[in-house]
């Protein structure tokens, strides 16, 4: 993998509504435990990514895809000293459900069965989606995305299990989550939250972990970053977004935002609102948190000159 500079670009393309896009090259970056509202479809171009998912470390190398369903806790880090380089698309549940209804026989809510799939062809399709966006080719980008998602669902898709919590502490955990969501900027202590819900702190902690895969304070940080993203997408300044969601200041937001999203909030907002949806690069955003750069994810085999013809999945 050429060089060791960490780069990342997180953006949207107006012609692909409901889909986030990412190119990144990381060496020392470590993603803390977090979730996404959308699906994660990450195609590894070089190196190895390790991510904790479903109680175990998962490994994805060149030609493999890391696949994470919405609201599924996971982490991320390099699996080799040189890090990993990848391109990713994040389609919304509605986008995936629409494709599944048209092209598969999956009943119920569609999702991915296993978190890693070895399929160089599907990985190449993801890189081609990003290349088409770079070129401003909306027809190709939309077509390739649909072909890629269809192929992945046919190879590794199935109905997602019902998320209803069946443990005795499930209702308490759900009520605690609602309180934290409502009081995001001024949350109670664990002791106060447990007392208000008629339980003990450790009983609440166990119930919350069982229901949502992380303790309440970790879930709250994740939820704050999610809400900050929505505010940034709406044009709120990073400093104001930080205070609105309960962080002490913008540096506090920067730290957590970068550890979950992969780029600083300022760079994230510039890409999302700065009119760069046509794929043009715009220099560095600096430091370990990455730089907007020209990682195309698959030059050569799937690059501008070496692109394979697209076939039906």
Question: Residue 167 has what pLDDT?
Answer: 60
pLDDT on residue 168: 66
Return the number of other C-beta atoms located less than 10 Å from residue 53's C-beta.
21
Q: 70-97, pLDDT tens digit by residue?
A: 999 999 999 999 999 999 999 999 999 9
Asked if residues 65 and 41 have their Cβ atoms less than 8 Å apart, the reply is yes
| pLDDT computed for residue 150 by the predictor | 98
- Calpha distance 152→126 (Å, rounded): 11
Query: Tokens standing for 140?
Result: 């190709």
Helix (H) / strand (E) element for 258: namely helix 250-261
**Backbone phi, psi, residue 189, to 5°:** -70, 165
Q: Which two tokens stand for residue 74?
A: 């996971």
Contact of 227 with 245, CB cutoff 8 Å: yes
Element (H, E) at 157: strand 157-159
Between CA 84 and CA 80 the distance in angstroms is 8
End-to-end CA distance of the chain: 29
Distance of alpha carbon 189 from alpha carbon 313, whole angstroms: 51
Widest CA span of the chain, in angstroms? 64
CA 24, CA 29: separation in Å to the nearest integer?
10
**Which of 295, 307, 265 minimizes the C-alpha distance to 22?**
295
pLDDT in tens, 164-211: 555 668 899 999 999 999 999 999 999 999 999 999 999 999 999 999
What is the C-alpha to C-alpha distance for residues 213 and 85, in angstroms, rounded to an integer?
A: 27
Closest CA to 290 of 313, 267, 274, 309: 267
pLDDT of residue 273: 86
Residues of the chain with pLDDT under 70: 1-4, 163-168, 275-313
For 289, half-sphere exposure in the C-beta direction (CA atoms, 13 angstrom radius) is 19
Q: What is the dihedral of CA 87, 290, 259, 17, to 10 degrees?
A: -40
Q: What is the rounded distance in angstroms from the CA atom of residue 130 to the CA atom of residue 307?
A: 12
């Amino acid at each position: 993998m050429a060089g060791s500079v960490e780069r990342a670009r997180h953006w949207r393309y107006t012609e692909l509504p409901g889909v986030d896009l990412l190119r990144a090259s990381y060496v020392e970056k470590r993603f803390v435990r977090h979730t996404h509202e959308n699906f994660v479809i990450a195609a590894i171009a070089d190196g190895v990514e390790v991510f904790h998912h479903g109680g175990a470390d998962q490994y994805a190398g060149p030609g493999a895809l890391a696949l994470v369903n919405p609201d599924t806790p996971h982490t991320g880090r390099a699996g080799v000293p040189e890090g990993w380089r990848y391109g990713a698309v994040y389609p919304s549940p509605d986008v995936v459900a629409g494709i599944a209804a048209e092209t598969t026989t999956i009943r119920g809510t569609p999702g991915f069965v296993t978190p890693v799939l070895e399929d160089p062809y599907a990985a190449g399709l993801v890189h081609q989606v990003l290349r088409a966006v770079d070129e401003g080719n909306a027809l190709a980008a939309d077509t390739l995305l649909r072909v890629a998602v269809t192929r992945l669902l046919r190879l590794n898709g199935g109905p997602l299990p019902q998320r209803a919590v069946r443990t005795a502490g499930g209702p308490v955990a759900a009520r605690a989550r609602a309180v934290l969501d409502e009081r995001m900027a001024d949350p109670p202590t664990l002791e106060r939250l447990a007392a208000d819900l008629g339980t003990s702190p450790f009983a609440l902690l166990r119930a919350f972990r069982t229901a949502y895969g992380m303790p309440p304070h970790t879930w709250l940080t994740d939820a704050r970053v999610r809400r900050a993203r929505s505010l940034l997408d709406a044009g709120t300044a990073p400093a104001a977004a930080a205070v609105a969601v309960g962080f002490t200041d913008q540096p506090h937001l920067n730290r957590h935002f970068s550890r979950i999203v992969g780029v600083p909030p300022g760079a994230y907002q510039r890409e999302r609102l700065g009119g760069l949806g046509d794929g043009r690069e715009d220099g560095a955003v600096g430091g370990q948190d990455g730089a907007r750069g020209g990682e195309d994810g698959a030059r050569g085999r799937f690059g501008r000159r070496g692109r394979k013809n697209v076939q039906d999945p």
